[in-house]
Amino acid sequence: SKSPSPRQNMPVRYFIMKSSSLQNIEISQQKGIWSTTPSNERKLNGAFWESSMVYLIFSVQGSRHFQGFARMGSSIGFEKSQDWGSAGFGGVFKVEWIRKESIPFQFAHHLLNPWNDNKKVQ
């Protein structure tokens, strides 16, 4: 019999990832990678190592929609990608897309974030 995963009884974490463009999300969906700002890297890496699973929910700024969600597939390394044209991004990490669909924020207005003054999740 297999021994249980060492992270099996650890919490699941969720993050909303705001993208500056739909093109970045399309690149991510095609290549299975993502990159974020260095200020987000510490939070995501910590969650990756201290959680059983990390889910990323993607939204393009100003779109009023979620564009889908993915599972974080690796920690964030130092390797950068030229796929994102904008400077200011950190290392690349793997993501496994679970759902690729545009969903209006209004469908999630019943979800409140207790770590953000119970504001709507969007």
Q: And the tokens for 33?
A: 């990678």
Section 23-36 average pLDDT: 92
The residue among 59, 54, 90, 57 whose CA lies nearest residue 72 is 54
Alpha-carbon distance of 115 to 102, in angstroms, equals 25
Q: What is the mean pLDDT of the chain?
A: 82
Section 8-36 average pLDDT: 88
> What percent of the chain is predicted at pLDDT more than 90?
36
Alpha-carbon distance of 75 to 46, in angstroms, equals 9
Alpha helix stretches (DSSP H) within 32-120:
38-50
Section 97-114 average pLDDT: 73
Q: How far apart are the first and last CA of the chain?
A: 43
**Which tens digit of pLDDT belongs to each residue from 40-91?**
999 999 999 999 999 999 998 888 878 899 999 999 988 887 777 666 788 8
pLDDT over 70 (residue 32): yes
Alpha-carbon distance of 36 to 49, in angstroms, equals 17
pTM score of the predicted model? 0.81
Please tell me what DSSP assigns to residue 2: P
Which domains does the chain show, CATH number per domain?
Answer: 12-120 (3.10.590.10)
